[in-house]
Amino acid sequence: MKLFASCTAVIALASSAFGQIVIDGTVDADYGNPKASQNNHTGFGNATDGVKSFANGSELNAGWVKVDEAGGYLYIFLSGNMESNFNKAEVLIDCVAGEGQNTMLNSNPDVDFNGLNKLAGTKFDADFAPDFYLTTTLGGTPTTQYANIAQLLTAGNGVGAYIGNGVFADANTPNLLDDTTYGCQLSIDNSNTGGVSGDSANPGSGCGVTTGIEIKIPLVLTGWSSGDIKVMAFVNGGGHDYASNQVLGSLPLGSGNLGGDGLGGFDGTVHVDFSLIEGNQYFSTADADTCAACFGDLDGSGDVGSGDVALLLLDYGPCPNCQADLDGSGNVDFGDVALVLLSTGPCGG
């Protein structure tokens, strides 16, 4: 664990421009617009439960990646749902240019019952070589989120760790996985019932979903020093052994689950090669924004302004899961008005 030893210094740093981000499973204004959105139906169940804790399906609707250099943190947001059956969200982060694993090695740290090494042999797009891995999952009673992290060093080995759990107090109170050892924080809000459907011919779009998996990682853990950060995320089976078709960047329209058999069965022999799949199966801080809608644009006018404040005031007061509850506090109140005011202006800026 020596390589992780300096993280406490980062945690102690003062607040920064990203002080508005709260790890609660709801997109904050500081994230801006997503860098990737889902174009493909979910083959792992369309989530319909509508509560924060558990979900009956998994979908990755949109992806955000933000670097807060002054504060020392990397923020990743994956909107959508994780079925509460211990399926895995696999998050791969390319944060060191010229290093990492364009093809996953079989000598990575033993985390999550050696689940990481199930991915050995997986080949990514040519300009994606991840250096850091995070996986999270949830299930049980009460519903509980768990996570593990690991280095993906160019030559393998490296360090990894289980970073704890975040229990849901009840179905509609946000959870928090607060890793006081390494400084990571995660939350998941499973209340989305929109986003993509399970219909391969008419999947809809992942745009507009603002709840899901929220991740905060100290930059010092990742090895990042400068440059773009790229993220690739997908939903995998409970044993890290059956990739779904929920990948960001998106698989092409109509793509089935990679485990059946796009060679995402991770059986230790042949594996999925994302370089052979159309499009970038990653997204980057350098990418253009995607999705026409934007944070705070409650009336869908294409900009954030007084019309959105007016809509927000209509829902003023206790309003769990309301679209106008931008900060996810369960109340539409001055905090949400303040977020709208911070976002005032044209979308896509």
Binding site for Ca ion (CB under 5 A): 22, 24, 26, 28, 46, 94, 96, 99-100, 125, 129, 131, 195, 274, 277, 281
Q: How far, in Å, are 43, 162, 245, 265, 343 from residue 150 at the CA level?
A: 28, 9, 24, 21, 35
Nearer to Ca ion, 126 or 310 (CB): 126
> In one letter, which amino acid is 341?
L
Q: Which residue is nearest to Ca ion (CB)?
A: 100
Q: Measured between alpha carbons, how far apart are the two ends of the chain, in Å?
A: 41
Question: Minimum Å distance from CB 117 to Ca ion?
Answer: 19
Residue keyed to tokens 């093809």:
103
How wide is the angle at C-alpha 145 spanned by C-alphas 139 and 150, nearest 5°?
A: 120
For the chain, how many helices (H) and strands (E)? 4, 17
Name 213's bridge partners. 78, 188
Q: Which is nearer to Ca ion, 132 or 242 (CB)?
A: 132
Could you tell me the smallest distance in angstroms from the CB atom of residue 233 to Ca ion? 14
Residue 174 and residue 166 in contact, taking contact as beta carbons nearer than 8 Å: no
The owner of tokens 């991740």 is: 215
C-beta of 8 vs 102, nearer to Ca ion = 102
Q: Which is nearer to Ca ion, 266 or 274 (CB)?
A: 274
Q: Which is nearer to Ca ion, 115 or 195 (CB)?
A: 195
Shortest CB 248 distance to Ca ion, Å: 12
In angstroms, what is the minimal distance from the CB of 288 to Ca ion? Answer: 18
By C-beta, is 215 or 304 nearer to Ca ion? 215
Q: Is residue 280 within a helix (H) or strand (E), and if so which, with residue range?
A: none
- Going by DSSP bridges, is the β-strand pair 73-81/59-68 parallel, antiparallel, or unpaired? antiparallel
Shortest CB 198 distance to Ca ion, Å: 8
Give me the least distance between CB of 290 and Ca ion, in Å please. Answer: 16
Contact residues for 110 (Cβ-Cβ < 8 A; gap 6+): 116, 117, 160
Q: Give 307 or 342: the residue with its C-beta nearer to Ca ion.
A: 342
The least distance separating Ca ion from the CB of residue 113, rounded to whole angstroms, comes to 26
**What's the CA gap between 329 and 51, in Å, rounded?**
14
> Judging by beta carbons within 10 Å of its beta carbon (0-12, 13-18, 19+), is residue 1 exposed, middle or buried?
exposed
